[in-house]
Amino acid sequence: MLIHPQFDPVALQLGPLAIHWYGLTYMAAFGFFMWLAGRQIRQPWHARHGWVRADIDDLLFYGVLGVVVGGRLGYCLFYKPEYYSEHLLEVLYVWKGGMSFHGGFLGVLVALALFARKKGWSYFTVTDLVAPCVPTGIVAVRLGNFINGELWGREASASLPWAMVFPQSGTDLLRHPSPLYQALGEGLLLFILMWLFARKPRPAGAVSAMFLLGYGVLRFGAEYFREPDNFLGLRALGWSQGQWLSVPMVVVGAALLVWVYRRRAD
């Protein structure tokens, strides 16, 4: 029987300063983005818009702001709206945890719109460059979730070789290591698909649409192995909150992809 390794969440202690693994995974996510975006701007179809390295630095600033603000607000609104409506000040308590990918994603969309407006570029000029660079960050952050022993999976069969007990869950049930599933699915697999798709020039908006569709589908599937939040449980149709938040991504992504290619055909 496998048991979650119970990693020390503090990677390095320097006197009163504690550096957490979770923070390091975010730093890794930003580092991967900088490296991959730097490669993307060398592609001829991106270079003709006038991208330079300094733009990537600015883009990262906008993106980090969108992730933090959107992720926190999304968690408060999507997962605990009643609680935070009565404890408004605690919305600012980011050190207590509570971030939503879908909220962070919406925050990034707004941040990218502001960046595009500043540069005088079309929205898809920015999002099509960013989209293939995002999944490696998802890999890093999901590994951080696993190190913290959080977002554990639903109960798994004892015959599953990698099923494990997550002591943080307060039970001795064997569970799916769902953060690893998400790191491999909406992280590594999505990165490979997106990077291959973005290697050739595509109609404006196609790469962005593919990310929406790909992430939405992979996250929806992963939620079947992830334990729903105990304060929410399963929602309508037996779907989790994460699945319901993924449905609009799938619908919008698919519709956008069809629209983009039909527009080109016309």
Distance between CA atoms of residues 35 and 132, nearest Å: 12
Q: How far is CA 104 from the centre of its chain?
A: 8
Distance between CA atoms of residues 103 and 94, nearest Å: 14
| Token code pair at residue 3 | 């048991």
Distance between CA atoms of residues 76 and 80, nearest Å: 5
Q: Pairing mode, if any, of strands 164-165 and 2-3?
A: parallel
| 142 annotated binding-site participant | yes
Q: Which residues are annotated as a binding site?
A: 142
